[in-house]
Amino acid sequence: MGVRPLNLDQWLLVDEDRAADLNEIGALIDNHRDEIIYCEPSAVTACQELAVEVVEHLRGVSGLNTIELDQQPGIPVIESTRRLVQEDICLLQRRSEGWVMTACAVAIPTQWDVPSKFGTTLDSIHEPVPRYDSDLSHLMGTFFDRLRVDRPVWRANRTLTDDPSLRLAPHRRHEPLRQDVTSTNIAERVWLRVEYQTLRRLPQTEAIVFTIRILRQQIASVAEHPTALGELVQSLSKLPKDVRGYKDSTAVYGSLVKQWAISNGYLDPKKYE
């Protein structure tokens, strides 16, 4: 599953893009609220507990010491919380059918259809993911049941894309790839998009909170760190066939990045060919 222990200082990341990101996210919520915000009545208490944790975390960040939740009447608390952070948020609760996403505020997904996942189980959320049933479903159910309040975790998911936008709509996954991206111009035309994901259980309500922070870096700038570039190329060249189909742009651009990195002397051809 690729999860590692999370130091709670690194739960929510704040950087110099915060103001710009929150402006863009606020506008997305204003214009597409029904596709972004979801909260079942049974999730309200957990969302309130989450809001308290988020505000407490942000108050520990320099410059945000007096931050408060702007709770407007009629606005779900998960929406007010989402407007404070650069992360998308999903909240899951244990039901007889499994772990269900009973609330979420997902404004900037990586090519997935958010409303179709409202109120559904982890298994059904991951239905389009190759090998999920065989390799992950059982492991994840057990992992979620056993996740301890004092043992939060993080994992990363990587995508290569020619679109540097924060929000990547699901239709992009099914569109043909750009033909004008080549192994000559890929360093400027393609971005590594990392979903920095965290999971933690809330102490009172025992709901599980899943956060997704989008981190973007142009390939040219990834190449300034040869170890990271090498690791990226290596991991993408091992993608099984069905996963390559699901992660179309990542697989195709991954091969072009490899060609570019070798022909420009960033990677040793003996190691990577």
Using CB under 6 A as the binding rule, whether residue 210 contacts ligand HEM is answered as yes
Crossing angle of helices 248-263 and 226-237, rounded to 10°: 130
- Between 1 and 149, CB nearer to ligand HEM: 1
What CA–CA distance (Å, rounded) separates 163 from 168?
Answer: 8
Q: Does 213 engage in binding with ligand HEM (CB under 6 A)?
A: no
Which residue, 45 or 157, has its beta carbon nearer to ligand HEM?
Answer: 157
**Residue 117 or 167: which CB sits closer to ligand HEM?**
117
Nearer Cβ to ligand HEM, position 112 or 272? 112
Q: Is 189 in the site for ligand HEM (CB under 6 A)?
A: no
Q: Decide: 218 and 257 in contact? Cβ < 8 Å.
A: no
* DSSP codes joined into one string, 108-165: S-BS--SGGGTT-BHHHHTTTSTTIIIIIHHHHHHHHHH--TT--EEEEEEEEES---
Edge-to-edge order in the sheet of strand 98-105: 4-5, 153-161, 191-201, 208-218, 88-95, 98-105, 37-39
Return d(Cα 165, Cα 16) in angstroms, integer.
Answer: 17
**By the rule CB under 6 A, 112 interacts with ligand HEM:** yes
Among 36, 90, 186, 214, the residue binding ligand HEM under the rule CB under 6 A is 90
- By CB under 6 A, name the one of 25, 51, 105, 140 that touches ligand HEM: 140
Stretch that binds ligand HEM, among 71-79, 154-162, 213-221, 228-236 (CB under 6 A): 154-162
Q: Which chain residues interact with ligand HEM by CB under 6 A?
A: 1, 3, 90, 92, 101, 112, 117, 125-126, 128-129, 136, 140, 155, 157, 159, 210, 247
